[in-house]
């Protein structure tokens, strides 16, 4: 059985839009997984330390037969392949892939929290999710649209489509 999984993507190092475009291709190649849709990319101010470049963010909608922790392992392997280093909380990064929503699953263990805890506070995640599925709601019934209306502004700017071959 397949589950709808929504993944947030972010980067602010080493050509961020290219990092995200490559990650989308890698996500679409995951085993037992199909890419349903990809959001536009957005630029936003960094959360946390401000002494770093702005981020490029987006999201993808996957249909996957992978279990949540297996999908998390795959996401972390892609991050690692892109040179992701976890040196500073909310610091600069080549690639950040977050499992935001996994069907109607509610999970909070030592490795994974779904839905993502910071979802209500991140316009750079909520807007791409709305682009993908305007009627998306969390397992408790809270609509992503409602969260977006209440979310603090992070200087979100929609970017033109990347010009990659």
Domain that holds residue 79: 3-158
Catalytic residue among 93, 131, 135, 140: 93
Helix, strand, coil percentages for the chain (3-state, nearest 5): 30, 25, 45
Residue 52 has pLDDT above 90, yes or no: no
Residues 15, 73, 86, 98: which is the catalytic one? Answer: 98
Q: Known catalytic residue: 84?
A: yes
Regarding pTM above 0.85, the answer is: yes
Q: Indicate the number of domains in the chain.
A: 1
Selecting among 15, 32, 51, 84, the annotated active-site residue is: 84
Known active-site residue 96: yes
The per-residue pLDDT for 162 is 65
**In the block, which residue shows the tokens 């770093």?**
52
CATH number at residue 98: 3.30.70.560
Judge whether 119 lies within some domain.
yes
Q: Please indicate, yes or no, if residue 164 is contained in any of the structural domains.
A: no
Instruction: Report pLDDT for 164.
Output: 52
Helices (H), 13-115: 16-28, 68-81
- Residue 32 inside a domain? The answer is yes
Determine the pLDDT at residue 89.
64
Q: Which of 15, 51, 89, 96 is catalytic?
A: 96
| pLDDT per residue as tens digits for the range 115-156 | 999 999 999 999 999 999 999 999 999 999 999 999 988 889
pLDDT of 76: 96
Does the annotation mark 148 as catalytic?
Answer: no
């Amino acid at each position: 059985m397949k589950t709808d999984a929504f993944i947030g993507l972010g980067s602010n190092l080493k050509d961020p839009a290219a990092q995200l475009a490559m990650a989308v291709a890698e996500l679409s190649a995951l085993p037992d997984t199909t890419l349903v849709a990809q959001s536009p990319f957005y630029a936003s101010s960094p959360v946390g330390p401000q002494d770093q470049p702005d981020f490029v963010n987006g999201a993808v909608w996957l249909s996957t037969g992978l279990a949540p922790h297996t999908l998390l392992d795959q996401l972390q392997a892609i991050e690692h392949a892109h040179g992701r280093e976890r040196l500073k909380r909310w610091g600069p990064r080549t690639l950040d892939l977050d499992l935001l929503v996994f069907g109607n699953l509610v999970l909070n263990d030592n490795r994974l929290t779904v839905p993502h805890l910071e979802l209500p506070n991140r316009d750079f995640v909520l807007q791409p999710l709305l682009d993908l599925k305007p009627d998306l709601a969390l397992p408790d019934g809270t609509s992503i649209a409602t969260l977006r209306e209440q979310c603090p502004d992070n200087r979100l700017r929609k970017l033109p489509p990347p010009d990659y071959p």
